[in-house]
């Protein structure tokens, strides 16, 4: 059975349009019924719609006889660590403020499988039972910070660090955590008002952090997204350090023999890891697929170019704060710019093209043929977004000119296939 509401990372949409309190209440009921005992720990990010949707989710859980424990504003990785039978986060992660959603974790803090999401959707219209309860707790943040600092913290005395919390769930947590370790912190994006999460700040827009690092002569900067499961960095010169380069810095330091990445990862990362005898496992886009691959292959480190960095020693999922702590420790004795430069990057051209419906088989056949001709020296990638109504295009090659030429080729193929679909009356 195809999923109607779940995408790549939970249920997500524009509040009042594709995501309503009524749907979230039904989802709460379905999750409680699916989980058995129905104990659900709930967190949320700082969006204005979060309060109403938190209440709706709690009502739904209670209507199925479950117990909703509301923890307030918390990053997604904290909810994963504190999950009861289920952990639920009211968030739309890196999306703009008008979006919201629900991410789910099982009792072990793992994201749900496609099959589990299908089972939950099948219970959306199940009858209510009643008899449940809603409780609130206020100590969840302290428990999370203590867990992270004990296991991943190190002495950061003298480190001059810029932090951009995206006006999201880390706004109060991250600056305090780094200050406890001795870092000199310059914090931005720490004034959430319900409407400014991910708005010109955080991991989706590094410009303010880049200026902050350069103007204040900081050693580096780190930026989180709204719910704290992504982290990107800025070196001492204000240059972006993406998830691929962060993995390249961490992998040798953490002495791993396997790294899981997605199809979006730069070919340069593959070569960097291969030269060091570190095996690479490639997955579809989405951090939960990286997690699945790590568990299947017995690995502990993986991530995405977009900043999902996963380290499973003493943790259960990707965590932006943990990634930032590990990065600060991994570059001791050198600058972030020096560390990141050890991995050469292939130029990439990325485009989003508005699109709904499935991708034509003829288009995917042309993409496969083109990649066959390139034979690993370059590549193109075409995929549907799991969170937005667009097709994401990627062209990667040894030079900017070659990457742009490949991009132009694939854009023309997409437009041609869209025109053919319109002529056929396809959606």
Enzyme catalytic residues:
93
287 in Cβ contact with 303 (< 8 Å): yes
- Reading the block at residue 174, the tokens are 């991250």
Alpha carbons within 13 A on the beta-carbon side of 337: 10
Of 174, 78, 154, the closest CA to residue 328 belongs to: 154
328 in Cβ contact with 159 (< 8 Å): yes
CA distances (Å), origin 112, targets 61, 115, 186, 360? 18, 8, 37, 29
User: Rounded distance, CA 313 to CA 271, Å?
Assistant: 25
User: Rounded distance, CA 76 to CA 226, Å?
Assistant: 9
Q: For residue 25, with 0-12 CB atoms within 10 Å meaning exposed, 13-18 middle and 19 or more buried, which class applies?
A: buried
Backbone angle region of 135, left / alpha / beta, with phi > 0 → left and psi within -120 to 50 → alpha: beta
């Amino acid at each position: 059975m195809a999923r109607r509401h779940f995408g790549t990372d939970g249920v997500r949409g524009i509040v009042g349009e594709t995501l309503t309190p009524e749907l979230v209440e039904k989802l709460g009921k379905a999750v409680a019924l699916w989980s058995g005992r129905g104990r659900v720990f709930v967190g949320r990010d700082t969006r204005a719609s979060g309060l109403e949707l938190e209440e709706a989710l709690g009502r739904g859980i209670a209507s199925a006889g479950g117990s909703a424990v509301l923890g307030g504003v918390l990053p997604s990785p904290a909810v994963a660590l504190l999950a009861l039978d289920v952990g639920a986060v009211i968030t739309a992660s890196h999306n703009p403020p008008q979006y919201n959603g629900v991410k789910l974790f099982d009792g072990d803090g793992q994201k749900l499988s496609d099959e589990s999401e299908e089972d939950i959707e099948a219970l959306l219209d199940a009858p209510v039972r009643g008899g449940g309860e809603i409780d609130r707790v206020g100590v969840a943040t302290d428990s999370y910070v203590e867990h992270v600092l004990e296991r991943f913290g190190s002495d950061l005395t003298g480190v001059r660090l810029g932090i951009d919390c995206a006006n999201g769930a880390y706004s109060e947590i991250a600056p305090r955590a780094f200050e406890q370790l001795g870092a000199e912190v310059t914090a931005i994006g720490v004034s959430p008002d319900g409407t400014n999460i991910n708005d010109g700040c955080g991991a989706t827009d590094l410009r303010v952090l880049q200026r902050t690092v350069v103007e204040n002569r900081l050693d580096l900067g780190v930026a989180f997204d709204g719910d704290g499961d992504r982290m990107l960095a800025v070196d001492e010169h204000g240059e972006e350090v993406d998830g691929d380069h962060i993995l390249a810095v961490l992998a040798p330091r953490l002495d791993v023999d396997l790294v899981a990445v997605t199809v979006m990862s730069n070919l340069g990362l593959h070569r960097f890891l291969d030269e060091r005898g570190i095996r690479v496992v490639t997955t579809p886009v989405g951090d939960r697929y990286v997690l699945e691959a790590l568990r299947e292959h017995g690995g502990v480190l993986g991530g995405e170019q977009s900043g999902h960095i996963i380290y499973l020693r003493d943790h259960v999922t990707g965590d932006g704060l943990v990634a930032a702590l590990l990065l600060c420790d991994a570059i001791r004795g050198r600058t972030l710019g020096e560390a990141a430069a050890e991995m050469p990057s292939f130029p990439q051209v990325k485009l989003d093209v508005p699109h709904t419906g499935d991708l034509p088989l003829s288009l995917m056949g042309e993409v496969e043929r083109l990649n066959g001709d390139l034979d690993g020296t370059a590549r193109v990638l075409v995929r549907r977004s799991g969170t937005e109504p667009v097709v994401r295009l990627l062209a990667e090659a040894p030079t900017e000119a070659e990457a742009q030429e490949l991009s132009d080729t694939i854009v023309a193929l997409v437009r041609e296939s869209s025109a053919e679909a319109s002529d056929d009356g396809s959606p």
